[in-house]
Structure 1
Amino acid sequence: MRISAIQMNQTSDKQANLDQARRLIEGALAADRPDMVTLPETWTNLGGGREARAAAAEVLPEPGGTGGAAYEFLRGIAKGAGIHVHGGSIIEQGPEKFFNTTLVFDPTGREIARYRKIHLFDITGPDGTGYRESALYGAGDALVTFEAGGVKFGCTICYDMRFPEQYLALRRAGAEAILVPSNFTLMTGKDHWEVLLRARAIETQCWVIAAASWGAYEERGATRQVYGHSLIADPWGHVVAKASDGIGWTTARLDAAVTARVRRDMPVLEHRRLA
């Protein structure tokens, strides 16, 4: 299976973000012919405060129903191109709070997975900038996996990557690859992004595919920066594809033989004693 991780520089303008995503996906399809594309975290909105998030949020339909603009965009790309689409995450309108939610569609346009981010980003960064995701978002409480192209994928989102127990649980649930759509801050990204993703790949012996947002965005009058550097790591922890600065994409082939060899030669799951 070939997969392209799309790297965006989204803003608080939902329609502009939809247009940017379409251009980048079409570019990846033409250049690399992937079987799946994956988008960053909250790719329909970054910045602008509560009002912008509310404007971007969508009430998700029951299976088979009609959704909002982002939902139908993802479904349309999947069906039109005949590929699997992992929709990074969008803002889901819940009854009381938003949810940071992943949607996955198969090549017929059928929704096959829906995951709500479990670990919410409530920290003060090294530069003193505060983030409190739980002020607006509720937390998910369920692991989610799906199959595509003969590969079993696990779903995570951004800050989840700092909790290896979630990744181990996905490996135990049969995952061979784990998706990590992200808006990783520049300050933490330059030190932790690649280290954490490679560690999760090594520990779980899974492919790790992380589509990320890059660049500057405005948040309540202040400029913030996200790190980008979308990457794909193999089950040995090698980074086999990586995006540079700027918008674009990176593509790699997930080779089942590599997964099998790594797990055969170092059967760490069989050797575990404490968890």
Structure 2
Amino acid sequence: MKVTVIQSNVTDDQQLNLAKMQRLLAEAVAADLPDLVVFPEMVACISISPSKMRESAGAFPGSELFEAFSAMASAHNVLLHIGSAMELEDDRVYNTSLLFGRTGELLGKYRKIHRFDVVLPDGTEIKESKNVARGERVVCVPVESFNLGMTICYDLRFPELFRAIADKGADVIVVPSAFTFQTGADHWEPLLRARAIETQCYIVAPGQTGTFENGKFMNYGHSMIVDPWGQVIAQASNGEGFATTRIDRKYIETVRARIPLRQHRIL
């Protein structure tokens, strides 16, 4: 299976963002003919304004945003993981991933479990939990010949979630993100490689790049795919674009046979 990660610089303009993702998807398909394409976190809108983020939310399914993503998948005959976007249900907003099949059918949905509540070094407070409800379910779904587990961004720091996904039979785990530059420079690659080594899964991690809020905030980018041995096998350059590689079920089996972690676990 060929997998592509899309790296983009999203703003608070949803229509502009969707047009950009359509363009990047078309370019990636034309260049690399991927089977699975994965977008970054908050792909439809990013803002520190709770009202703007709530305005961008839609029903999944049942909204124009949902239908736009579905149409992208079917138009290009690809498996499309939209990274995440704001979902509205019963007056609550969730940070939600969607996975669409090649004909635009919904294959899986995951709501972010761990919300990003931090104070940045400059004193800026980011409290995702003030405006976004918490997901409850660990999600792993069959995708053609692989089992795909879903996480979002800050989930990366919680290995127990990745262990739970691995226990559900995952071969590939996606980590769509909007990692801050401050933490990404030191933590992004080490955490991704650690999760790959621990779970013996491919880790597919597209990220947002560039700045938003008139340059006040910067995302780290460095979208990458890591193999089950912990090696980075594809990485996007700086700026918007994409990176593609082939993932191999036989290599997963080789790694797991070489060090049979799942047979050796005690706790």
Same fold (TM over 0.5): yes
Give the letter aligned to residue 57 of structure 1.
Answer: A
TM-score by length of 2: 0.97
- Secondary structure of the 1:198 match is helix
TM-score by length of 1: 0.94
State the Cα deviation string for residues 200-223 of structure 1 (Å, max 9, x = none): 0000000000011001000xx771
Is the Cα contact below 8 Å between 1:127 and 1:187 reproduced in 2?
A: no
C-alpha separation in 2, matches of 1:121 and 1:59: 22
Is the Cα contact below 8 Å between 1:126 and 1:188 reproduced in 2?
A: no
- The number of residues matched between the two structures is 267
C-alpha separation in 2, matches of 1:166 and 1:154: 10
- Secondary structure of the 2:96 match is strand
Aligned residue in 2 for 1:3 = 3
For residue 129 of structure 2, the aligned residue among 114, 120, 134 is 134
**Pairwise CA distance, 1:48:** 5.3
C-alpha separation in 2, matches of 1:31 and 1:20: 17
Q: Which structure 2 residues correspond to residues 3-152 of structure 1 after superposition, within 5 A?
A: 3-47=3-47, 49-61=49-61, 67-152=62-147
C-alpha separation in 2, matches of 1:19 and 1:197: 29
Give the letter aligned to residue 47 of structure 2.
Answer: G
**Pairwise CA distance, 1:170:** 0.7
C-alpha separation in 2, matches of 1:149 and 1:240: 22
Q: Following superposition, which runs of at least 4 residues in structure 1 exceed 2 angstroms of deviation?
A: 67-70, 94-97, 125-129
C-alpha separation in 1, matches of 2:55 and 2:40: 19
C-alpha separation in 1, matches of 2:99 and 2:264: 33
- Secondary structure of the 1:138 match is coil
Is the Cα contact below 8 Å between 1:125 and 1:188 reproduced in 2?
A: no
Are residue 247 (structure 1) and residue 240 (structure 2) matched? yes
Is the Cα contact below 8 Å between 1:78 and 1:108 reproduced in 2?
A: yes
- Secondary structure of the 2:87 match is strand
- Secondary structure of the 2:54 match is helix
Aligned-residue CA RMSD in angstroms?
A: 1.2
C-alpha separation in 2, matches of 1:243 and 1:70: 26
